[in-house]
Structure formats: C-alpha cells, structure tokens
Amino acid sequence: MPIYEYQCRKCGKQFEAFQGISDPELKSCKFCKGKVNKMVSLSSFSLKGSGWYVTDYKGKKPSTTARKEKSETSESSTAKETAKTEVSKTAAKTSTDD
C-alpha cells in the first residue's frame, strides 16, 4: 500500500498516511481537524532480483588490466608473425642462392 502525503490548510503541518489506492482521500487534519490538500510526492521503488540493468549489466566492462593483457598479447603475436615472415624470406633466399 502506498504512503500519501497531506498538508493542512489551517495549521500548515504535513503528515503521511498509509492508504490503499482505492481508499478515499483524507478530508481533515489529524492535528487540528482543518481541511487538507493531498501533496504530489516522488514515488520510490526498488529493483530486486536478477534481470535488471543495475544487477546484471551495469559495471561489467572489461577491466583495464584485461585490456592491457589483450593488447600485449596482440603486440607479441604481431612480433611473432613478423619474425616468421623474416625467417621464411631468409630461407627462401638461401634456397635460391644454392
């Protein structure tokens, strides 16, 4: 059941009432019995369980160390490929020189 906020027109006090959605609005102040106005207030809710952005997807970016390791791995593989190419060129030269 939601909590509604009211403000008294006579004494100016604000108070909350725990009411069902289908319950009628309060008409009088619980302090001075003056007329009240229902206030507009923010609603609050909580996302519980899995399947929500907050619990499952937020903050699941790869860490900077993982990115570093990945870039180092790609750099070393590029260096290995270059070395292989140079070795094969050298081998090809040697076989043609014979």
In the structure, what pLDDT confidence band is assigned to residue 25 with cuts at 50, 70 and 90? very high
DSSP state of 49: S
Q: Per this entry, what is the length of the chain?
A: 98
CATH topology of domain 1-41: Rubrerythrin, domain 2 (2.20.28)
Quote the pTM value: 0.45
pLDDT on residue 47: 72
pLDDT (average), residues 88-93: 55
pLDDT tier, 26 (very low <50, low <70, confident <90, very high otherwise): very high
Please give the Cα distance from 78 to 73 (Å, whole number): 9
Structure confidence at residue 28 (pLDDT): 96
Of residues 75 and 58, which shows the higher confidence score? 58
Per-domain residue ranges for the chain?
1-41, 63-98
In terms of C-beta density within 10 A (0-12 exposed, 13-18 middle, 19 or more buried), how is residue 6 classed? buried
